[in-house]
Amino acid sequence: MPVYRIKHVTRYRYEQPVTICHHIAHLLPREAARHVWSSADLDIFPTAMRTDRFDYFGNRQTFFSIQEPHRELLVTSRGEVEILAPATGMLFSNQPWEQARDNLRNMSTPDFAGVIQFTFESVKIAQTAEAAQYAAASFTAGRPAIEAVEDLMRRIHQEFKFDTCATTVATSVAEVFRDRRGVCQDFAHLGIACLRSMGLAARYVSGYLLTDAPPGRPRMVGVDASHAWLSVYVPESGWLDFDPTNNMTPGDRHITIAYGRDFSDVSPLRGVILGGGNHAVHVSVDVTAV
Amino acid sequence: MYVTDQELPEAALKRESERRMILEPQQQSSPINVPDAHLYSSYAPVPGIYDEMMDSQGALRPHWQMFLNLLDDLGPAKLHHRWETARQLIHDNGVTYNVYGDPAGMDRPWHLDSLPVLFSAAEWADLQAGVAQRARLLDAILADLYGPQRMLAEKIIPAELVFGHGLFLRPLHGVAVPGLRRLHSYAADVGRGPDGRFVVLMDRTQAPSGTGYTLENRMVISRALPDVFRDCRVSRLATFFRRFRETLKSLSNRENPRIVLLTPGPYNETYFEHAYLARYLGYTLVEGADLIVRDNYVYLKMLGGLQRVDVILRRQDDDFCDPLELRADSALGIPGLVQAVYSGNVAVANALGSGLAEIPALMMFLPALCRRLLDEDLMLSSVHSFWCGNMQARQYVLDNLSRMVIKPAFLGGRDKPVFARNLSHEALESLRAGILAAPCNFVGEHYVELSTAPVLMGDHVEPRHLVLRLHATCGDDGYSVMPGALARFSGSADSMIVSMQRGGGSKDAWILSDGPVDAFSFLQPAGQPVPISRAGGDLPSRVADNLFWLGRYEERAQANARLARGIVIRLMDQNFDSTAELPTLFSALAKQTMYVAPEGQPVSAEVKLVEILLRNPHANGFPATLQSIYRIAALVRDRMSLDIWRIINRLDEDFPGADKTDPALLDLLPALDRLIITFAAFDGLAMESMTRGYAWRFLDIGRRIERAIGTLTLLAETLVPVVDREGPLLESVLEIADSIITYRRRYTTNLQIPPVLDMLLADESNPRSAAFQLVRLQEHLALLVANGGAAGLSAPERIVLRLLTDMRLADFTALGGIETNDRRNRREHLGRLLAIWIDELRMLSDVISREYLVHITESRQLGFQPAGAVAPGIDSQPLGIHTPRAGG
C-alpha cells in the first residue's frame, strides 16, 4: 500500500521584532483509520517553550511560545505514513437519510456526545436557510443517506467554481453561496452546512492530498498545499469521508491530520504576537510517494 | 426572570404607566408629622401578594416589630436627617452602576433605599441551605460536563444544552481544577411567591456580581442607623468575605499567593464593584493588558518588572479571557492563559467554562440532575421553567403562551425576557412563529407574583416588588451562603421588573440573628499577627501611566482655572484704570486651551471668556481636561483614598457645565474660586496622605512636568511680546503664577521683567518656578529603576539635568531686555529659549512613558492560515493542480 513522505513548512517574516508570541499548531497527525505513521515530528525555530496536548476532538495540538525577540518564525513538520486499503467486505448502508438522522439522536454508544456535537452550527459554519434549501434537492424523501451525500458532493463540484482568488480565510458560507466560487476549505464548509441543515453530523477534515504533475512536466516540490474535505456520520457505517472539491470519496491519496467542527478548530497554525509590524508568510507543502 | 439589565419591552412600559395612573389615588398617604403616626401607618400591601413586613391581615410580622419600634423611637425628624446622611455617603463614595449603550449612562448613581428588608433567622436558614445545595449541584454538573459527560450519555442533559451555543469551552474539557471545584462563587436571584415560598429566578455562575454592592449597602445603612443595626442583632457579612478570601488563597500552593481581580475595564456596568472589592479584599485590580504569559506562568507587568500571579478572580466572561484558544476577537484577553491553566500554574475563579451552568435551559433539568448527581432532592425550587427543545415542554409553552415569560434559552446573564401577556395579538403570533422556527433557543417560564417590601417614598412607605441576590462561596466543608443579600426592588408597585435602570433601586437585607453576632471585621484580622511592613508595593505599569496623566491633567486644569480667574477679576473690577493686559491674557488662555476663534463678528469679552472656557470642544480644552481628570481618576480609584475620590467628585459640582445657560461673570468668579480651592485640596491630600511609593511619585511626576510647561507657556505668551505698560501685565502674571506676595516682599512694587523671570524660572525656592519642578523631578527619577538598570544617568535624568543647568545659567537681565533693532517688538531670545525648553519638557514626558510605562503594546492576532487551494479537476487531471496560498 502507498507510503507517503510529507514536509510542511511555514515561515513568517516580521518587519519589526516580535517580543513574545503564542501559537497553536495542528500539524502533527491524529489517529485515523487506515493510517499508519512510522514517524511524525515538528520543528520550531527559534527555540520555543512547547507543550503537546490533545484537543477535545482527539487531535494532537502543539502549544508553543517564543519569548525572545525574533524576526522570523519557521515551523516544519515532517512525517511518513502508510495508507492501508479499506477492509474488504465493508458494509455500506442503504439506510434512508431520515432514519440515519433520527438514529443519531437515539444512539446509546459511549461516543454519543462525540458524534452529536457535529450536528450543531459552529464558529465558521452558521446555520442558514440557504444551505437547507440547497441540500433539499439532494435529500429527497426516503433516499439512502450515502447516495444523497454523493449527490450533494457532485452538485457542489459542478455548480461552484474553483477559484483561489475569490475567497479568503474569513469568507463565510453565505458568501460562497452568493459568489459560487471558492477553494477546498470553502467547499468543505459549504457541504457541512448543507448536511447539518438536514440534521446530520458532519465534520471538517484537515490533511493533505497527493497530486500528480501535469502530463509531460516534472513534479514540482513544495507546490502541494494542505487540503480539506468533510466527513459525515451514518449510524450503520460510521464516519465516511467525501471530498467535494474533487468530487470523490477519499481513497489512498488523502492523508488525514486533524478534524473538527470547521477550519477554526484545526487551523494548521495560528497565534497571537506582540510587536512585529507588517509580516509576510510563506507556506510550502511537499507530499511525495516513497 | 424579572431582573433585567436591558430595556423594557415597550408594551410593559405602557402598561406600567397606565396602571400607575389608576393606582395613584391609593398612593395618597398622611404626612409623617402627624403626632403618633408610625412610618408604616399608611402602608397598604398589594392584595394577593406576599408582603415581607405585613401579613395578609395587615398585622406586622413579628421579626419586624423591634426594628419598627426603634425607628419610631428615633422620630421622623431624626430619621429624615439620617436618610440624608446616607444619601450623601453614597454620593461621596461614588457608588455607581454603568449602563451599557447609554451615552449619559456612565456612572449612574446607585439608588439605595434607606429602609432595610428584614428576614428572620428561621426563614433564612432554609433559604441558605437551598442555595448552598444548588451551588453544589451546579458545580457537580460542570464537573461532569468538563469531565466524563455521563449526563450527556445518559441523556439527562440534552446535547443542545452543551453544544447548541458557545458557552461550552472545549479547550477546558479535561483540564484539572485545584480543589476539584469550578464554582468558587455562585449567586442566585431569588423571589418569593404569594404562598410565601422562595423560588430561584436565575443562576449566576459565570462571574457573579453583587457582593461589593451588598457590602457597600451594608456600610451605608449601618452607618446611618448604627444603634438600630446593633440592637436588631443583624448577622455580619465580613465572615463571608474572609471565607471567600481563604478559598481563593487555597487555590495556590504558594504561601503568599498573589491574587488579582481581572476586570474588563471601566466601561463595564459593574466596574465600581470591581474597584471596590479589589480594595476591600486587598487584591490588585488588573485588566487583561496588564498580564502576560511566559513559561506557562502568568505575570503582572509592574514598574519593577514582572510579578508572578497565582490566582485570578475574574469579572470578565470566560470566552474573552484568551484570544488564542477562546474567542479570537477578544481584545481583553491574555494570550496563553488557557495553557497556563492547563499547566496548573494559575488558578482562575470561577474556573474558565463555568458560564455554562447559568443557561436558563438547564433549570428544567435540575431536579433530575440533583437526584442523579447528589442523590438528594432539590431543596429550593426554580421558577417553573420549560425548555422548548423538549417536545412536551414546547407544547405546554405554546398552549399557554399568553401566560408565559419567554427568554432565550442559552444567553444566561444578558437575557431579555418577553412578557407574553403584554403583547398584542400580532406580536404574540410572531413570537409563536419564532419559537416554532428554533424551539431549542427558547425557554418559557411561569410568571411569579413577587413579594413586596416597604420602600421609603418621601415621607411615607410604599410596597415594591423584591428580588434578592444571594451569594455562596465554597470552603473545605462545602458551600456557605452569605447571611445577607443584595435586595433590588421594582420602580412601581405594579411592575414586576426589577432593574437598576428603570427607576428601581436596591436595599440592604438584614438577617436577624438568634444568637450573638460574630463581630469579625477585616480591619482587625484574627489569627496570626501581621508582619510589619513599610513597602508600598510595586505598581502595575498601566496604573503608573494613569496616575502620571492624572497629575498632568489636574495641573493643567488648575493652570487654566488660575488664568481664567485672573481674567474674570480684571473684567469685573471697575477700578482698573487700564485693561491693556487683557488681550494678552486672553490670547494666553486661548493658547493654553488650544482655542481657535471662529471667524465672524466681534464678541464681548464676557462671551469670549465663556466661549474659551466652557464651549471649547478641543481635547486640550478646559471641559475636556476636567472630564479626563474624572475619567482617569475612575481608572485608578482603587489606588486613592476615599477623601481624594470625594474631592474628584466635587469637581463636577464646583463648576457649571457647558450644557447650562451662560453663567454671568458674577457666577463664574465664585465657581473658579471653588475650583481652585478644590484643586488645592487635592494637591494637599496627595502630598499629605499618599505614601511615598510609586503611585505618589508618578502622580507627582505628571504634576511637575505639567506645571513647568504651564509656567513656561504663560511666560512665552505674556512676556515675549512687548507691550506699552508692562506693570499691570507683570502683576497679573505673578498673580496667576501665585507668586505675587513673595515678589512684593522682595521687590516691593517695583515690577520689572528680569526679577519676574528669575522668580518664575530659576528660583528653586519658589514652588511655582520651573526650576523647582525640575529639582523635584530629579529626586523622583533618581529613585526609579530604569528598565535595564544600566549605570549612570537614565535618559529622563539627562534631560532634566540639562534643563536645570540651562535655567541656572540663564542671564535674565539680558533676556528681559528688548533688542532695539527688533522691529517685530518681541523678546526673540527669550521666546526662542522658552520654546526650546517647552519642547524638551514634552520630550521628557515621552521618554518617561517609554522608559517606565510602556511595555504595554497591543497584541495582534496572526491570522488563521487557510487550508490550501486544491483545484477542481480539468478533464485529464482528476486530482487537479495545487496552488499554495499565503495565509494571513
pLDDT computed for residue B94 by the predictor:
63
Among B102-111, B211-220, B260-269, B562-571, the minimum mean pLDDT is found in B102-111
- Position B244 pLDDT exceeds 90: yes
Whole-angstrom distance, CA of residue B388 vs CA of residue B436: 9
Determine the pLDDT at residue B651: 78
Q: Does A276 touch chain B (CB under 8 A)?
A: yes
Residue A228 is nearest to which of B867, B882, B886, comparing CB atoms?
Answer: B867
For the record, the C-alpha cell of B5 comes out as: 439589565
Stretch (H or E) spanning A19: strand A3-25
For B587-617, what is each residue's pLDDT tens digit? Answer: 889 888 888 777 665 666 777 888 888 888 8
**Count of CB pairs separated by less than 8 Å, A with B:** 200
Average pLDDT over every residue of B420-445 = 93
- Measured between beta carbons, the chain A residues lying within 8 angstroms of B174 are 56
pLDDT at residue A99 is higher than 70 = yes
Whether residues B888 and A274 touch (CB distance < 8 A) is answered with no
**Contacts of residue B162 in chain A, CB cutoff 8 Å?**
113, 117
- What three-state secondary structure class fits B56? coil
Name the residue facing B879 among A53, A65, A211 (closest C-beta).
Answer: A211
Examine the pLDDT at A31 and tell me if it is beyond 80: yes
Question: Shortest CB distance from A267 goes to which of B174, B342, B864?
Answer: B864
Contact B456, B464 (CB under 8 A): no
**Average pLDDT of the segment spanning B471-490:** 93
Whether B4 and B499 have beta carbons less than 8 Å apart is answered as: yes
B268 DSSP assignment: S
For residue B881, the chain A residues in CB contact (below 8 A) are 211, 214
Contact A271 B324 (CB under 8 A): yes
Per-residue confidence (pLDDT) for residue B188, from 0 to 100? 97
Q: What is the mean pLDDT of residues A247-268?
A: 93
Which ipTM was obtained for this model? Answer: 0.94
pLDDT value at position B856? 47
Residue B414 in this model has a pLDDT that exceeds 80:
no
Q: Which residue has the cell 421553567?
A: B385
**What is residue B887's predicted lDDT score, i.e. its pLDDT?**
23
Rounded Cα–Cα distance for residues B121 and B18 (Å) = 39
pLDDT in tens, B71-89: 888 887 888 888 787 777 7
The highest-level CATH class for domain A97-263 is alpha beta
Q: Where are the alpha helices (DSSP H) in B534-664?
A: 541-572, 582-592, 605-614, 622-635, 642-654
Average pLDDT of span A149-158: 96
Write down the pLDDT at residue B631: 81
Taking 60 as the threshold, does the pLDDT of residue B650 lie above it? Answer: yes
- CATH for B251-349 is 3.40.50.11290
Nearest CA-CA partner of A264 in A56, A82, A83, A116:
A56
Residue B776 has phi, psi (to 5 degrees) of -60, -45
Residue A97 carries which DSSP code? H
Sorted by sequence, the CB contacts under 8 Å of residue B765 that are 6+ apart come out as: B772
Mean pLDDT calculated for residue range B11-21: 31
Mutate to test the interface with A, among B321, B859, B875 (most CBs of A within 10 A): B859
Partner-chain contact B884 A225, CB within 8 Å = yes
- A49 contacts B869? CB cut-off 8 A: no
3-state secondary structure of A37: strand
Q: Which residue has the higher pLDDT, B24 or B374?
A: B374
Domain A3-84+267-289 part of CATH 3.30.950.10:
no
Residue among B266, B153, B338, B306 nearest B635 (CA): B266
Strands B291-294 and B284-286: unpaired
Summarize pLDDT for B337-390 with one digit per residue, the tens. 999 999 999 999 999 999 999 999 999 999 999 999 999 999 999 999 999 999
Residue indicated by cell numbers 449619559: B104
Measured in whole angstroms, the distance separating CA B482 from the mean position of its chain's CA atoms is: 23
How do residues A180-204 score in pLDDT, each as one tens digit? 999 999 999 999 999 999 999 999 9
Torsion angle of C-alpha atoms B77, B81, B86, B88, degrees rounded to 10: 150
Put simply, the answer to whether A227 touches B870 (Cβ < 8 Å) is yes
Can you give the residue ranges of every domain in chain B? 1-24+42-236+356-383+448-520, 251-349, 541-674, 690-859
- Contact present, B263 and B315 (Cβ < 8 Å): yes
Among A residues 205-224, those touching chain B with beta carbons less than 8 Å apart: 206, 209-212, 214-215, 222-224
Higher per-residue pLDDT: B396 or B289: B396
Q: Identify the pLDDT of residue A214.
A: 63
8 Å CB contact between A230 and A248: no
Is A51 close to B339, i.e. CB distance below 8 A? yes
Q: What are phi and psi of B414, to 5 degrees?
A: -100, 45
Nearest to A244 by CA among A201, A289, A189, A172: A189
Give tens-digit pLDDT for A106-123. Answer: 887 778 999 999 999 999
The whole-angstrom distance between residue A98's C-alpha and the CA centroid of its chain comes to: 26
Q: How far apart are CA B856 and CA B864, in angstroms?
A: 24
Q: Which residue of A has its CA nearest to B163?
A: A117
pLDDT of residue B875: 24
Q: Do B339 and A22 make contact, defined as CB atoms within 8 angstroms? A: yes
Residues near B878 by beta carbon (within 8 Å), at least 6 away in sequence: A246, A248
CA distance B322 to chain A (A): 10
pLDDT at B23: 26
Per the CB < 8 A criterion, the answer to whether B796 and B844 are in contact is yes
What's residue B529's pLDDT?
Answer: 52
Query: What per-residue confidence (pLDDT) applies to B616?
Result: 81
Residues of A in contact with B868 (CB under 8 A): 183-184, 224-227, 283, 285
Cβ neighbours of A188 in B, within 8 Å:
867
Position A278 scores a pLDDT of 84
CA distances from A231 to A33, A55, A195, A250, B619 (A): 13, 18, 10, 10, 57
Q: Which of A81, A80, A83, A78 is nearest to A284 (CA)?
A: A78
pLDDT of residue B861: 58
B718 or B25: which leads in pLDDT: B718
Partner B contacted by A268 (CB < 8 A): yes
Question: Where do you find CATH 2.60.40.2250 in chain A?
Answer: 3-84+267-289
Most confident of A11-20, B9-18, B334-343: B334-343
Contact B336 A22 (CB under 8 A): yes
A19 interfacial to chain B (CB closer than 8 Å): yes
B219 pLDDT band (50/70/90 cuts)? confident
Q: What is the least distance, in Å, from the CA of B775 to any CA of chain A?
A: 36
Instruction: Please tell me the number of Cα atoms within 13 Å of B876 on its side-chain side.
Output: 5
DSSP symbol at B24: G
- Mean pLDDT rounded to a whole number for chain B: 82
Chain B residues close to A65, C-beta within 8 Å: 293-294, 296, 336, 339
Position B190 pLDDT exceeds 60: yes
Q: Please calculate the CA angle B806-B807-B808 and round it to the nearest 5 degrees.
A: 95
* Inter-chain CB proximity A227 and B162 less than 8 Å: no
Concatenated DSSP letters for B500-567? TTTT-EEEEEEEB-SS------TTS--SSPPPP-------BHHHHHHHHHHHHHHHHHHHHHHHHHHH
For residues B144 and B749, what is the distance between their CA atoms, to the nearest angstrom?
86
Provide the β-strand partners of residue B349.
B313
Decide if A279 and B888 are in contact by the 8 Å CB cutoff.
Answer: yes
Report the interhelical angle of B541-572 vs B605-614 (nearest 10°).
170
Q: Is A272 on the interface with B (CB under 8 A)?
A: yes
Q: Does the structure show a pLDDT above 50 at B197? A: yes
- For B880, nearest residue in chain A (alpha carbons): A211
Residue position matching grid coordinates 496560498: B885
CB B109 within 8 A of CB B503: no
CB contact under 8 A, A275 and B857: yes
A contact residues 90-109, partner B, Cβ 8 Å cutoff: 108
pLDDT band of residue B271 (cuts 50, 70, 90) is: confident
The pLDDT of residue B135 is above 90 = yes
Return d(Cα B592, Cα A199) in angstroms, integer: 67
With residues binned 3-state (H G I as helix, E B as strand, rest as coil), the percentages for chain B, rounded to 5, are 45, 15, 40
Residue B830 to residue B779: CA distance in whole angstroms: 28
pLDDT digit string, tens, across residues A54-94? 999 999 999 999 988 899 999 999 999 999 988 765 567 78
A22, B295: Cβ pair inside 8 Å? no
pLDDT digits (tens, 9 = 90+) for A209-220: 887 766 676 665
Set of chain A residues whose Cβ sits within 8 Å of the Cβ of B873: 246-247
Cell of B112: 439605595
Cell numbers representing residue B494 in the block: 405594579
Percent of chain A with pLDDT over 70: 94
Collapsing DSSP to helix, strand or coil, B828 comes out as: helix
Judge whether A282 is closer than 8 Å to chain B, CB to CB.
yes
**Residue B334 to residue B322: CA distance in whole angstroms:** 5
Model pLDDT, residue B627: 84
For A281, the closest of B164, B325, B886 (CB atoms) is B886
Cβ pair B382, B134 in contact under 8 A = no
Look at residues B470, B394, B400, B468 and name the one whose alpha carbon lies nearest to residue B437. B394
Across A126-135, A268-277, B807-816, which has the greatest mean pLDDT? A126-135
Do A270 and B864 count as a contact with CB atoms less than 8 A apart? yes
Residue corresponding to grid cell 497584541: B859
Which residue of A51, A274, A280 is in closest CB contact with B857? Answer: A274
Show residues of chain B in contact with A197, CB under 8 Å: none
Can you give the pLDDT at residue A276?
A: 79
Is-contact A72 A14, C-beta < 8 A? Answer: yes
